[in-house]
Structure 1
Amino acid sequence: MSISSIIKSIQDIMRQDAGVDGDAQRLSQLSWLLFLKIFDAQEEALEFEQENYKISIPEQYLWRNWAANPEGITGDELLRQVINKLNEVDFNRSDERHLFGDIYEQLLRDLQSAGNAGEFYTPRAVTRFIVDRIDPKLGERVMDPACGTGGFLACSFDHVKNNYVETAEDHQALQQQIFGVEKKQLPHLLCTTNMMLHGIEVPVQIRHDNTLNKPLSSWDSDVDVIVTNPPFGGTEEHGIEKNFPAEFQTRETADLFLQLIIEVLADKGRAAVVLPDGTLFGEGVKTKLKKMLTEECNLHTIVRLPNGVFNPYTGIKTNILFFTKGQPTKDIWFYEHPYPEGVKNYSKTKPMKFEEFQTEIDWWGDESEGFASRVENNHAWKVSIEEVIKRNYNLDISNPYQGEVIDYDPNKLLADYAEQQQSIDTLRSQLKDVLGAALSANTTEGK
């Protein structure tokens, strides 16, 4: 039986359990089983003793000691069926391990429609485009301060491995340059498992913690690359804001992460951050943040993504901000990413694809040359920092080469339709009155 068939069988078995509440809980339980089995396979493949791992697992919980025997201990017959199915996958075989990595990616994609769990998953088209443009290299410290299930880190690891790793020593060095922090338990577990599947033997650099939970001044500015989609639309617990300078204190998560990113980047460090439209046009602390960002970093590119990229988790419009620390901003290039032909919105069956970004990639140019090759077109335009300052750092700047954007929001369309109908009724009533008066006048004159 193929690995994909095994995983499908496992999911079908778990769906029969009335005690499991929805896909998110099933995924959580399956993730723990996968982690324990993959950890066990990792240990055997590397011929390490348990104490060599900084991830500590008590002896009785090692997969080989409780799950490998098909007649072994179990608390429930249904759970035993799942374990026996999972034992059909041999994670020590490189071909099965690689194939399972692809299937695991599908499991992570399922998070997007699993309630609030979707906040931990960034569509892979977006992560691939960001990592492709940031181009992390061997020897550069790569960090995601809100790493979720590890999409950006896994993509960065693969990018460096495929483009810059030549020796076993290079591969070992690469494993030490990937860092991530995740606040919540389930995505941290998913991320740790994801890292092991991608070839990070002991992913101790993936910490279960809140990155914002220590003073900003205590961080070193030593990170070469940051690629992240920090949580937005939420607020941090009381007291977290005290870790930040008084003039920038807020409890809005995205604003705090943006401050942190600017702080921890090394000189000439590069970052790409997914942020909502609210960051672009927001005022107050957001204005101060954008001023600091453009003064301390070269905010050279903002890619404006269309609606629906994060469907069905959220329909909020998002942007990717690309910047390099150490030089102030002179000009900001905007690129409005269009829907592909025939697509009006993204969905689970019609997700965004990496190939859609080829036009941006072809247009991109070289930062060391000041992006001199870039030209304005129907999707790309340049705005000077002077214009941004005049706008009080409002970065919600519309495409000057496109006409009025059609809003396909059904509620707005219905409201517009009702307003138009009311106007038509008013005009009809006025016309009726005018005609009635004219006919009355003619009748009077006839007499």
Structure 2
Amino acid sequence: MMVDIVNPTKNDKICDPACGTAGFLINAYKHILKENTSKDGIFEDEIGAHYTADLFSSDDWKRIKTNTLFGYDFSTKMVRVGMMNSILHGITSPHITYQDTLGKHYVHNEEFDVILANPPFKGSILKSNIHPDFKVITTKTELLFLELMYDKLFVGGRCAVIVPDGVLFGSSNAHQKIREMLIENTELKAVISLPSGIFKPYAGVSTAILIFTKGDETKKVWFYDLQADGFSLDDKRAQITENDIPDCKAKFKEIVGARKYDAIPTETDKWFWVDKEELKANKYDLSISKYKKIIYTPVVYEKPEVLLSQIKELEGKILVGLEEVGKMI
């Protein structure tokens, strides 16, 4: 979903600064191939549809193989796994590097058009290891990664990142400052609230997706309450019919992509707009529960005399039953 929303192109430089198994980079690669494949370039087998990118030029192929996808991780094991996974998916020369992207030796210059990430939740780093370019004073990695992503994007660059809910409403100076940076220095397009079981069995923490573009202005922020992703929210994660992802992607394209700031949701919609001024008044709080309107459905109760009559009728039936049981003893 995140890749589809950000919509990376063949001309973008794409990064995941905490890439793990390189899942985002692989899905970005597949997305670009699909977007550059004609109808004649699609073939299917027992695995599914395959996209040959037959609309690519030789320069396009060279670019995507050598200067498009970049991943970093501070675990040598995950670097090896990410490289192997990339190669298995057709990225023959993956740029996946062992690097602590929050540390002193990773340069914060603008370098990428797209950043896709799911950085470690609720981690911390020693103060002595933090890069001096960080302006937010904190050791919380989820906050430092957000500032890093902002720094590494070109102006006009797009980012989609998964964050724990604490980032959205934390009251510390660092939490407020990072949210202020996102709203004042970028166009924070969307906050997509995710169900708490979406990462089970590995983690049960509540999370959200932030979508922003560096350099643009935030006027309103689009909130979406994604309640189901097509799988059960327990440890089994079995496939189910309820799935809000297609609706979320369609509504994002239709409303946010077209900048329909005056669009009004229906009672059944799971999205709504929040004005920038309202966010500022609430210390840049981005938690969906802060702004989501609760619709109360009136409940009609029977009149007391009707309820009393029904109770007496039930008691009468109970007494009749007890008498029949007594005769059987």
TM-score of the aligned structures, taking structure 2 as reference length: 0.76
Q: For 1:292, which of 164, 170, 181 is the aligned residue?
A: 181
Q: Aligned pair 1:267/2:267, yes or no?
A: no
Return the offset for 1:330: 1.0
| CA 222–373 in structure 1, closer or farther in 2 if over 3 Å, else same | farther
Any unmatched runs of 5+ in structure 2? 37-52, 297-329
**Letter of the structure 1 residue corresponding to residue 83 of structure 2:** T
1:300 CA displacement: 1.1
* Counterparts of 2:224 and 2:206, CA distance in 1: 14
Identity, in percent, stands at: 31
Code of the residue aligned with 1:256 in structure 2: it is: L
Between the aligned partners of 2:219 and 2:139, the Cα distance in structure 1 is 30
Change over 3 Å in CA distance of 1:352–1:132 after alignment to 2: farther
The one of 202, 208, 212 aligned to 1:323: 212
Q: What amino acid does structure 2 have at the position aligned with 1:314?
A: A
Does residue 400 of the first structure (1) align with residue 272 of the second (2)? no
Residue equivalent to 2:7 = 135
Does the residue aligned with 1:248 lie in a helix, a strand or coil?
coil
The residue type equivalent to 1:313 in the other structure is Y
| Distance in 1 between residues matched to 2:73 and 2:281, nearest whole Å | 38
SS at 1:149 equivalent:
coil
Taking the aligned partners of 1:238 and 1:207, their CA distance within structure 2 comes to: 23
- Residue 322 of structure 1: CA displacement? 0.4
CA distance 1:211–1:232, shift in 2 (3 Å):
same
Residue 63 of structure 2 corresponds to 173
The match for 2:90 among 199, 219, 241 is: 199
Query: For residues 233 and 354 of structure 1, do their structure 2 counterparts lie closer, same or farther at Cα, with a shift above 3 Å needed?
Result: farther
> Does structure 2 conserve the Cα–Cα contact (< 8 Å) formed by 1:144 and 1:153?
yes
Matches of 1:353 and 1:206 in 2, distance apart?
36
Counterparts in 2 of 1:354 and 1:292: CA distance versus 1, 3 Å: farther
Residues 352 and 242 of structure 1, relative CA distance in 2, 3 Å threshold: farther
Superposition pairs of residues 35-74 of structure 1, within 5 angstroms:
none
| Residue in structure 2 matched with residue 17 of structure 1 by the alignment | none
The secondary structure found in structure 2 opposite 1:243 is coil
Asked whether the 8 Å contact 1:379–1:401 carries over to 2, the reply is: no
Shift of 1:363: 1.1
The structural deviation recorded for 1:402 is 3.7
1:312-345 deviations in Å (ceiling 9; x for gaps)? 111110000000111221100100002379x762
Cα distance, 1:238 vs. partner? 3.7
- Structure number with bigger Rg: 1
> AA paired with 2:5?
R
Residue in structure 1 matching 2:116, options 227, 252, 264 = 227
Query: 2: CA distance between counterparts of 1:318 and 1:353?
Result: 22
1:347 to 215, 235, 239: 235
Q: Which structure has the highest helix share of the two?
A: 1
Deviation at 1:250, TM superposition (A): 1.1
Distance in structure 1 (CA, Å) of the matches to 2:223 and 2:77: 36
- Counterparts of 2:185 and 2:207, CA distance in 1: 23
SS at 2:64 equivalent: helix
Task: Indicate conservation of the 8 Å contact 1:145/1:211, yes or no.
Answer: yes
Q: Which amino acid aligns with 2:215?
A: G
User: 8 Å contact 2:228–2:243 — kept in the other structure?
Assistant: no
Q: In the TM superposition, what are the counterparts of 1:7-406 in structure 2 within 5 Å?
A: 129-164=1-36, 165=53, 166-167=55-56, 169=58, 170-175=60-65, 176-203=67-94, 205-214=95-104, 218-245=107-134, 247-283=135-171, 284-339=173-228, 345-350=233-238, 356-364=244-252, 365=254, 367=256, 369-372=258-261, 374-377=263-266, 378-398=269-289, 400-402=292-294
State the alpha-carbon separation in 1 of the partners of residues 196 and 257 from structure 2: 32
Q: 1:368 to 1:256 in 2, by over 3 A?
A: same
State the alpha-carbon separation in 2 of the partners of residues 340 and 141 from structure 1. 29
CA RMSD of aligned residues (A): 2.4
CA contact (8 A) 1:182 1:209 kept: yes
Matched residue SS, 2:158: strand
Hey, what's the Cα distance between the residues in 2 that align with 1:158 and 1:374? Answer: 32
Q: SS where residue 186 of structure 1 aligns?
A: helix
Deviations 1:399-439 (A, max 9, x none): 634459xxxxxxxxxxxxxxxxxxxxxxxxxxxxxxxxxxx
1:236 to partner: Cα distance: 1.3
Q: Relative to structure 1, is the Cα distance of residues 242 and 156 closer, same or farther in structure 2, using a 3 angstrom cutoff?
A: closer
The whole-number CA distance in structure 2 between the counterparts of 1:225 and 1:182 is 17
Question: For the residues of structure 2 that align with 1:353 and 1:325, how far apart are their CA atoms?
Answer: 36
In the superposition, the TM-score normalised over structure 1's length comes to 0.57
